[in-house]
Amino acid sequence: MSIFTKLSTVIKSNINDLISRAENPE
């Protein structure tokens, strides 16, 4: 299960990063 937990964490981080870039394009 730890693998899935790490994957979900990475995915959430990537999504948050994409959202941040979309809101603050530089």
Quick: pLDDT tens for 2-26: 999 999 999 999 999 999 999 987 7
CA dist 16 and 10 (Å) reads 10
Q: Which helix (H) or strand (E) holds 21?
A: helix 2-23
CA dist 14 and 22 (Å) reads 12
pTM equals 0.59
Which pLDDT does position 3 carry in this prediction? 95
CA dist 9 and 18 (Å) reads 14
Tokens encoding 11: 């995915």
